[in-house]
Structure 1
Amino acid sequence: MLVMEMQRGVAGDLSRFPELAAVCAERDVVAHASQAAAAARAAGVRVVQCTAAFRADRAGTHIGNSPFIRRLLRDPEHMLEGTGAVEVLPELLHADDLESRRHHGFSPFTGTSLDTTLRALGVRTVVATGLSLNLGIPGLCIEAVDLGYRVVVVSDAVAGVPAEYGDEVMARTIGLLAARVTADELVRAWKDGE
């Protein structure tokens, strides 16, 4: 199970994305992701926290190739290594979880060891939760499919902004790339050994 950017500086108490944090709160995204992660661990499914962070000197980050990244990094304090903003939300973190951190881009595979880690674990299917449906989750799904993984997205454990746009992405993009289940459906499937 891949938990994408469920960090304090994205959806938590230190969020710099108030609209996204509000959608997460309204739709209980964190609770659903936490429910799915707990079920994964109980079923022996490894949870990988896919996090993003920046160095203060921005080394390793492509700044000029994306308007969104340029805008984010105007704030010299945004998602800095070693700060509370990059910490995984406490309700989603467990000592047995793995972490895959990236310093550039929008998806968890490029420039990280995530693919190597998953292959070493014998993974063939990834279950995606987290943020956001605007960039990160579609990127995760496309790259995972391109790398040969089967993808399942937990529909009530992801969000985008505005919320209606996120719903459209789920229907029109994610539906072409991945199976979609709710957290409750996933919990039942793992309890039944599927």
Structure 2
Amino acid sequence: MPTPEQLAEQLTPASTVLLTVECQQGVVGLDSALPELAKEARSSGALQNVARLVDGAHEAGVQVLHAVAERRPDGRGANHNARLFRAAERLPVQQHSGSRAVRIAEPIVVAEEDLVVRRLHGLSPIAGTDVDPLLRNLGCRTLVVVGVSSNVAIPNAVFDAVNLGYTALVVSDAIAGVPADYTPAMIRNTLALVATVATTEDVLTSWKRPRRVSRA
């Protein structure tokens, strides 16, 4: 674990972006297509912690970017090359563009300055989307990753961020997956090898720390 000073340096607001992954109604909301995942995200406190981090980012001047997975009603352009995609096509709730299912789920508050990136294909919120060029234009050095799921999209986001040269930070109590014991195992055995791991309180405390002001 980094020291508070190291974490504060890594989380400098001007060069940090908070990325929420698939925190949408049709995934973690009450009318989710994946009720087991939605239940875990809510009962574990992960979704509430995402909301707290988003609020904290807004207060600290940290850019927030919401990554949303969706599909056209006709499925045009969507993947069909994995069991996960084929199963998703049969779910009772579909993540159709423009529908309630692809709205950011409560209690997360989306501010006017937030960016929302929507993808129609793939497993990653970064690869093949606008996220990377947006991060570069924003001067991002550290990408804070939260949301779902620790099974697929979260590790994809972390690996892509690291491969693209960003420092990835995973907020351990603001991600969720199924079964419940999979998330800590994924963090311990995989994500901790390539990303900084911190808690919601660690990150919020860092953003509230007084910053040194350089003097000419």
Aligned to 1:85, which of 91, 97, 101? 101
Unaligned runs of 5+ in 2: 1-17, 212-216
Aligned match of 2:84:
68
Contact kept, 8 Å, 1:56 with 1:76, in 2: the verdict is no
Aligned match of 1:24:
41
Aligned match of 1:33:
50
Aligned match of 2:202:
185
Q: Secondary structure at the match of 2:61?
A: coil
Distance in 2 of aligned mates of 1:86 and 1:127: 21
Q: Once the two structures are superposed, what CA deviation does each residue of 1:49-80 show, in whole Å capped at 9, x if it has no partner?
A: 000000011112121x1111111113485111
Gap change, CA 1:74 and 1:97, over 3 Å in 2: same
Aligned to 1:156, which of 168, 173, 193? 173
Q: Once the two structures are superposed, what CA deviation does each residue of 1:112-168 show, in whole Å capped at 9, x if it has no partner?
A: 111000000000110011000000000000000000000001111100100111111
Matches within 5 A, 1:3-152: 3-63=20-80, 65-75=81-91, 78-92=94-108, 93-152=110-169
Q: Which moved more, 1:106-115 or 1:73-82?
A: 73-82
Distance in 2 of aligned mates of 1:20 and 1:146: 28
Q: TM-score scaled by structure 1? A: 0.95
Sequence identity, in percent?
A: 37
Q: Secondary structure at the match of 1:2?
A: strand
Q: TM-score scaled by structure 2? A: 0.86
Aligned residues: 193
AA aligned opposite 1:162 = P
Q: Once the two structures are superposed, what CA deviation does each residue of 1:166-186 show, in whole Å capped at 9, x if it has no partner?
A: 111111111111111111110
Greater Rg over alpha carbons, structure: 2
Contact kept, 8 Å, 1:56 with 1:77, in 2: the verdict is no
Contact kept, 8 Å, 2:33 with 2:91, in 1: the verdict is no
After the TM superposition, list the runs of 4 or more consecutive aligned residues in structure 1 that deviate by more than 6 angstroms. none
